[in-house]
């Protein structure tokens, strides 16, 4: 998958930032549909996370999850490649404990280790060919007792958007269309890949629309 596509993916989210929350999955958390119920279940799982000394949130977007994560730490670092997303996040979360950095996660290497690395609806934008490298970077970003938490849409999700060879065409309110990566990873396959790269104690919950996965950095590496 080309660098051009990954750059277009960033351009898409930069352009989409101001309309993200009105068009993204969180709006589907309202109401009493099966999807909304699953969304709220995922929120409850995040609410139930323990306290951490520090958290790293990857691809934080406008702050849908950043808000919840601030309740679980005094030190939160939130990364995203779209300055427009970071600005909205900063304005909406409005919490001086959050440190924002504009980072392209395909060129990123953590400069410190964290107790929790959290990512929501990001992994499905990592092409399969980049996944192993990305998982290794995440592992290196974790303290030895650290946890990674991934929330996303699984292969076979009922929230079907037409996808051609793991590329989706996404159209903004103004009619502009962008191509982005969308890899619906199968949680079981993801677990196997993660075990290969130094994760253990993997716990997975797969629904019809979403899955979440929690894993620890293995002690013996
Ligand atoms: C589907 S949104 C998820 C946002 C947020 N985590 C949420 O759940 O609402 C994907 C996010 O990835 C960011 N993004 C896209 N390409 C990126 C890259 N190469 N590096 C870092 N962030 C990127 C976008 O700006 C966007 O905020």
Each residue's pLDDT tens digit, 56-99: 999 999 999 999 999 999 999 999 999 999 999 999 999 999 99
For ligand 1, which residues put their CB under 6 angstroms from it?
A: 6, 9-10, 13, 59-61, 64-65, 80-82, 85, 103-106, 120-122, 125
Ligand 1 mean position to 80 CA, how many Å? 6
Ligand 1 mean position to 62 CA, how many Å? 9
Nearest-angstrom CA–CA distance, 126 and 85: 18
Q: Is pLDDT above 90 for 195? A: yes
Helix ranges, the chain (H)? 3-16, 20-23, 34-47, 66-69, 83-93, 128-140, 187-196
The DSSP secondary-structure symbol of 59 reads S
The residue whose two tokens read 């999807």 is: 35
Nearest-angstrom CA–CA distance, 88 and 18: 8
Nearest CA residue ID for atom 1, ligand 1:
121
- Asked: is 3-217 a CATH 3.40.50.150 domain? The reply is yes
pLDDT band at 11 (very low <50, low <70, confident <90, very high): very high
Per-residue model confidence (pLDDT) at position 27? 66
* 8 A C-beta contact, residue 102 and residue 73: no
Handedness of CA 34, 160, 204, 104 (dihedral sign): negative
Per-residue model confidence (pLDDT) at position 69? 98
The residue whose two tokens read 């979360």 is: 93
Strands 142-152 and 114-120: parallel
CA dist 213 → 71, 132, 149 (Å) = 20, 16, 6
Per-residue model confidence (pLDDT) at position 159? 84
Ligand 1 site-directed mutation target among 13, 22, 78, most atoms within 8 Å of CB: 13
């Amino acid at each position: 998958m080309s660098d051009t596509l990954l750059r277009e993916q960033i351009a898409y989210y930069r352009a989409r930032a101001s309309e993200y929350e009105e068009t993204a999955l969180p709006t589907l958390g309202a109401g009493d549909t099966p999807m909304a119920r699953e969304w709220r279940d995922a929120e409850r799982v995040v609410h139930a996370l323990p306290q951490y000394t520090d958290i790293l949130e990857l691809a934080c977007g406008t702050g849908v999850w950043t808000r919840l994560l601030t309740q679980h730490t005094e030190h939160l670092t939130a990364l995203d490649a779209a300055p427009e997303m970071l600005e909205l996040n900063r304005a909406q979360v409005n919490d001086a404990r959050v440190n924002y950095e504009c980072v392209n996660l395909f060129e990123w290497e953590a400069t410190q280790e964290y107790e929790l690395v959290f990512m929501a609806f990001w992994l499905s934008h990592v092409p399969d060919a980049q996944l192993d490298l990305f998982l290794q970077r995440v592992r290196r970003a974790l303290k030895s007792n650290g946890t990674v938490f991934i929330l996303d849409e699984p292969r076979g999700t009922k929230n079907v958007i037409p996808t051609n060879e793991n590329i989706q065409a996404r159209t903004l309110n103004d009619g502009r269309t962008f191509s982005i990566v969308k890899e619906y990873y199968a949680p079981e396959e993801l677990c196997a890949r993660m075990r290969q790269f130094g994760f253990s104690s993997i716990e997975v919950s797969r629904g019809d629309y979403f899955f979440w996965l929690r894993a620890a950095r293995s002690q013996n590496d």
